[in-house]
Amino acid sequence: MDPRSEVLLRQAELFGGELLLAGLPADDLLGALPQARGWNWHAGDHAVLAARFAGRNHFDTRMPEGDYRAAVLFLPKSRELTDYLLQALASRLAGKPLYLVGEKRGGIERAAKQLAAYGKPRKLDSARHCQLWCVEVEQAPPVPDLHALAQSYPLQLADGALEIVTLPGVFAHGRLDRGSALLLEHLDDLPSGHLLDFGCGAGVLGAALKRRYPDNELSLLDVDAFALESSRLTLARNGLSANLIAGTGIESAPEGLSAIVSNPPFHQGVHTDYQASENLLSQAARHLLKGGELRLVANSFLKYPPLIERHLGPCRTLADADGFRIYSARR
């Protein structure tokens, strides 16, 4: 079981009545707390929980309806996302307890200070490098408007300008990251057909692809509900359309793709995790048509070419700059 869940269970007697667990990891906590419901924005965790605890976990960017006696937030990585989630929870908990649990290395002591907007924070427990904090919501704030928290920035491309919209918690919130900037310079000559932006984030690559290849079908896939909502906003802001897929990895992608384009993620919360990227490299051929192409950007230190060649075919390096490389391989 996740160590944060174990810390919660040490204080299980606190949780009577209907309890909302926000950011719930994919473990046994719902089984241990039968009165609890989950709220999740990670498609992988949601899939596991939905299969094991049918109807008890909600996948969305917005808090599920319910008359909750209390709520627990599992601390996310982003401070901006934490602000939004705490306000969303506190808005429905006037006079009730709001709990925050997280790892020390994840910044739980700093984040606990954010509870002070709603009352006087108290530390209840500390174990396994995790802490549990609580605040009684003395004055409930208004329900936050997620879209009002969006940031946007212009992106100048050779074929015209795009406006990118990002929400709290989304990778490179409010700015263009260096890897995507390099990949945007190397999107020429992709095969015609169904394109996939894997790990789409705010939809930077997806919007650029749809602008450049307007007659191609386009899908955008991400594990994070906030990323998918950002992509939807980016596409709408630029008058573009595409399929949005909430998926756990490349196994959630359609088959018969002509190209997969990606700046693949390698972080899960505060932890480094290469599984999604390595699965992409090993499974891409199953989703590509014959002659279909995988094109991605990666940090130069990552040894991706041998994996690409083992599972797909000869790997070309299209660019090498600013600590990143663009790789291409065809099935």
Give the start-to-end residue ranges of the domains of the chain.
3-143, 150-330
In this structure, whether the domain defined by 3-143 belongs to CATH 3.40.50.150 is answered with yes
**60-115 tens-digit pLDDT:** 999 999 999 999 999 999 999 999 999 999 999 999 999 999 999 999 999 999 99
Q: For residue 273, name the pLDDT band (cuts at 50, 70, 90).
A: low
Q: DSSP letter string over 172-219?
A: TTTS--HHHHHHHT--TTPPSS-EEEET-TTTHHHHHHHHH-TTS-EE
- What per-residue confidence (pLDDT) applies to 266? 62
Q: What are the φ and ψ backbone dihedral angles of 71, each rounded to 5 degrees?
A: -145, 150
- Pairwise CA distance, residues 123 & 132, whole Å: 6
Tell me if domain 3-143 and domain 150-330 are identical in fold: yes
Q: For residue 269, name the pLDDT band (cuts at 50, 70, 90).
A: very low
The pLDDT of residue 117 is above 90: yes
**133-155 tens-digit pLDDT:** 999 999 899 999 999 999 999 99
Mean pLDDT of the chain: 94
Q: Which CATH superfamily is domain 150-330 in?
A: Vaccinia Virus protein VP39 (3.40.50.150)
Instruction: Indicate the range of 3-7, 262-266, 280-284 predicted with least confidence.
Output: 262-266
- What per-residue confidence (pLDDT) applies to 267? 45
Q: For residue 271, name the pLDDT band (cuts at 50, 70, 90).
A: very low
Cβ(7)–Cβ(131) under 8 Å? yes
